[in-house]
């Protein structure tokens, strides 16, 4: 029997994502909600080196999981994720990039346009 996330904040985020995807018929937010509903051991963990390798300057990306600090970031990008390691936030800030929550991205871009999923 699948129970979903036990973290109350994550459960609220998933509910909000589902509300938005049903009202706007957005497959993008439906995909993010289903990825976040996975068990924590199956959620994505992405290092900064991978983000740096597969992104371009000025891009907005989303990681439906955790961003880890291994590697360096040398591009100015916006990264939205469920969680960030403390060191990853420090490295992102040093290169003038932005680390935001998925909730902030949802508020600023309810259609999910021009956002790539990494992980």
Q: Give the model confidence (pLDDT) of 41-57 as tens digits.
A: 888 899 999 999 999 99
Q: Is the pLDDT of residue 109 over 60?
A: yes
- In angstroms, rounded to a whole number, what is the distance separating the alpha carbons of residues 26 and 28? 5
Least confident residue range of 20-24, 94-98, 99-103: 20-24
- In angstroms, rounded to a whole number, what is the distance separating the alpha carbons of residues 79 and 69? 13
Quick one: pLDDT at residue 25? 86
Q: Is the pLDDT of residue 2 over 80?
A: no
Quick one: pLDDT at residue 1? 57
Return the domain boundaries, the chain.
Answer: 8-117
Residue given tokens 């916006």 in the structure block: 78
Average per-residue pLDDT for the chain: 92
Sequential DSSP letters for 16-55: HHHHHHHHHT-HHHHHHHHHHTS-GGGSEEEEHHHHHHH-
Confidence band of 40 (pLDDT split at 50, 70, 90)? confident
Quick one: pLDDT at residue 39? 87
Confidence band of 31 (pLDDT split at 50, 70, 90)? very high
Radius of gyration of the chain (CA): 14
Q: Is the pLDDT of residue 19 over 60?
A: yes
16-22: long-range contacts, CB 8 A cutoff, minimum separation 24:
16/103, 16/106, 17/102, 17/106, 20/106, 20/110
What CATH topology corresponds to 8-117? Ribosomal Protein L15; Chain: K; domain 2 (3.100.10)
DSSP alpha helix (H) spans, 67-112: 86-94, 102-108
Q: Is the pLDDT of residue 89 over 90?
A: yes
- Say if residues 20 and 42 touch (Cβ distance below 8 Å): no
pTM: 0.90
């Amino acid at each position: 029997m699948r129970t979903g996330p036990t973290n109350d904040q994550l459960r609220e985020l998933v509910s909000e994502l589902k509300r938005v995807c049903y009202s706007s018929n957005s497959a993008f937010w439906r995909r993010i909600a289903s990825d976040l509903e996975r068990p924590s051991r199956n959620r994505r963990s992405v290092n900064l080196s991978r983000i740096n390798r597969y992104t371009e300057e000025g891009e907005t990306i989303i990681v439906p999981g955790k961003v880890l600090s291994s590697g360096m970031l040398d591009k100015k990008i916006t990264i939205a994720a469920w969680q960030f390691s403390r060191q990853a936030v420090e490295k992102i800030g040093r290169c003038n990039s932005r680390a935001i929550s998925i909730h902030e991205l949802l508020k600023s871009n309810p259609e999910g346009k021009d956002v790539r999923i990494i992980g």
